[in-house]
Structure formats: structure tokens, C-alpha cells
């Protein structure tokens, strides 16, 4: 099945406009991921499929398309510098700042298959204690419903959970087969998973103390990145921290966030 120049131009512009993702250099990725899907599902051409997606942008085919096209690579304790920073700097600040409400508000904004938000949940439990005096529930969102389903199930292979401290593995995982471990209910309940497109208006209640926005802006162009950061800024507490991927950067002159150290920024009014 051939992806014509016109079809390629259509998908690049559609995905950019709706999801912010820049696929203009990703022709091989598009065909590599979509071709099999189209063949398996009886489509004769890309145009036939794209017409169906366009007719119903919230429909199942549009959802399937984004599930196939997003890149969801992640792992437990990725970029552990952020977890150290949380423990040493950001959480001590939250503990003081939110002392009266005892409600820490964290958002994992490109949560993928759950490794990031679950590791954060374990860290929050560690830091604020298991007695429940603090509300340590966090929000975890992603565009892809496929990865969110995986995340909600919380099933991982032993080799995937290896990077976690032994204490966390013992406390929060149960073995469910020879190879697989599952996040225990008590921890799964700590993470509220929701489908959310980062291009949309943020309507979550309350302001966040800490936002993880890691390894997702690499797919966005500069204007999209800046507009997103501005929206997030308005939904953060003053003093709140945002972590981005360690290979990513923010144009310091273009946003209101204050640079703290590579990949760590802060809202300081």
C-alpha cells in the first residue's frame, strides 16, 4: 500500500493540528505503523482510512490511529535525578507550603504505561508516610488510551521493576505469574488515570505543586511547546516545580517559568 504525497501531507497536518505532534520527518514511521493496521482491517488505501478518521475525529478509528502513532517508550526511575530532586527539594517545599491542607498535588502529564506516575506515587508514600494524614493521590494523563489501559492494569515484568528500590518492590508489587508482577491495589488507587490531550484547555480542579512533563515536548514544535507551558503555568501553585526530559530544554525568554537547573523549572511570580 502506497502513501502518496497528498496523503502524507494530510496526516502530518491533521496530527499536528489535533495533537501537536510533528510527524513531518516521520514518513517511514507513519507507513511502518499504519500499513499493517490498515491491511488487517480491510482498508484499500490510506485515503479511505483517513476519510473515516476525519468524519469522526472522536470516533474509534481516530483513537486507534493515535494509539498506533504515538511513541510511548518509558521505564521505572527514568531520569532519577528528578526523584532525588523531589525528595530533597520539591517535597520539603510542598510539606511547608501545603501544611494546612495536607494535600500534595502532582500531575504526570505524559504518563504512558504508568512507570512514571507509579514511581512518583511510591515516592510520595515514602515521603509523606503511610498513615494517610496527607492526601497523596496524583493525576496521570496521556493521549493514548492503549497505554492508559496498560497503566491502569499495572502489570510489569520482573526486569521492568528491577530499577525500583527493593523496599518499594516488596511493599507495592505482587507476583501474579512466573514473569509478571502487578502494582497492588492500594498503590493503584493512588493514581487517577485520565485520557487528556495536552493541546486542550486544562480543566483539572485546583493548582499543581509538581508537574512531570517529561519526554513529550520532543514531538511538539516551539510554538506548541510554549503555548502548552503557558497553560500549565496558570494551573500551578506559585513556587511549584515542573520537570521536563533531561534532553529537552525550554526557551528561558519565552516562558514565565524560572530556570533552576537543567530540566527543572519553577513558577516564581
Q: Which residues bind ligand SAM (CB under 6 A)?
A: 19-21, 70-74, 78, 110, 112, 116, 142-144, 147, 197-199, 214-216, 219, 245
Angle at 205 between CA 220 and CA 226, to 5 degrees: 20
Contact present, 116 and 212 (Cβ < 8 Å): yes
H or E element, residue 122: helix 115-128
Task: List the grid coordinates of 48.
Answer: 479511505
**How far apart are CB 263 and ligand SAM at their closest, in Å?**
11
Cβ distance to ligand SAM smaller for residue 78 or 125: 78
Cβ distance to ligand SAM smaller for residue 174 or 197: 197
**How far apart are CB 208 and ligand SAM at their closest, in Å?**
15
Query: Are β-strands 173-175 and 180-183 bridged in parallel, bridged antiparallel, or unpaired?
Result: antiparallel
**How far apart are CB 126 and ligand SAM at their closest, in Å?**
20
Long-range contacts of the stretch 172-176 (C-beta < 8 A, 24+): 172/118, 172/122
Cβ distance to ligand SAM smaller for residue 134 or 241: 241
**How far apart are CB 100 and ligand SAM at their closest, in Å?**
31
**How far apart are CB 188 and ligand SAM at their closest, in Å?**
18
Q: Which residue has the cell 501545603?
A: 98
Cβ distance to ligand SAM smaller for residue 15 or 187: 15
Other CB atoms within 10 A of residue 42 CB? 7
Cβ distance to ligand SAM smaller for residue 44 or 80: 80
Half-sphere exposure (Cβ direction) of 94: Cα atoms closer than 13 Å: 28
Amino acid at each position: 500500500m502506497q502513501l502518496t504525497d497528498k496523503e502524507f501531507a494530510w496526516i502530518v497536518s491533521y496530527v499536528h493540528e489535533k495533537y501537536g505532534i510533528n510527524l513531518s520527518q516521520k514518513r517511514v514511521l507513519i507507513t511502518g505503523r499504519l500499513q499493517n493496521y490498515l491491511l488487517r482491517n480491510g482498508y484499500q488505501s490510506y485515503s479511505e482510512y483517513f476519510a473515516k478518521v476525519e468524519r469522526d475525529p472522536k470516533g474509534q478509528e481516530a483513537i486507534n490511529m493515535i494509539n498506533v502513532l504515538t511513541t510511548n517508550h518509558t521505564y521505572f526511575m527514568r531520569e532519577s535525578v528528578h526523584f532525588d530532586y523531589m525528595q530533597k527539594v520539591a517535597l520539603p517545599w510542598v510539606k511547608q507550603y501545603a501544611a494546612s491542607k495536607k494535600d500534595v498535588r502532582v500531575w504526570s502529564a505524559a504518563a504512558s504505561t504508568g512507570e512514571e506516575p507509579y514511581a512518583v506515587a511510591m515516592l510520595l508514600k515514602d515521603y509523606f508516610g503511610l498513615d494517610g494524614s496527607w492526601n497523596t493521590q496524583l493525576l496521570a494523563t496521556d493521549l493514548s488510551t492503549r497505554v492508559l489501559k496498560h497503566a491502569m492494569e499495572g502489570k510489569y515484568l520482573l526486569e521492568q521493576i528491577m530499577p525500583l528500590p527493593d523496599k518499594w518492590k516488596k511493599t507495592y508489587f505482587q507476583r501474579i505469574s512466573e514473569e509478571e508482577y502487578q502494582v497492588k491495589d492500594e498503590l493503584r488507587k493512588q493514581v487517577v488515570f485520565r485520557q487528556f490531550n495536552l493541546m486542550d484547555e486544562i480543566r483539572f480542579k485546583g493548582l499543581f505543586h509538581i508537574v512531570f512533563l517529561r519526554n513529550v515536548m520532543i514531538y511538539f514544535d516551539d510554538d506548541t511547546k510554549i503555548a502548552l507551558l503557558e497553560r500549565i503555568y496558570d494551573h500551578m501553585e506559585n513556587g511549584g516545580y515542573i520537570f521536563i526530559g533531561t534532553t529537552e530544554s525550554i526557551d528561558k525568554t519565552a516562558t514565565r517559568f524560572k530556570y533552576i537547573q537543567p530540566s527543572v523549572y519553577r513558577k516564581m511570580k
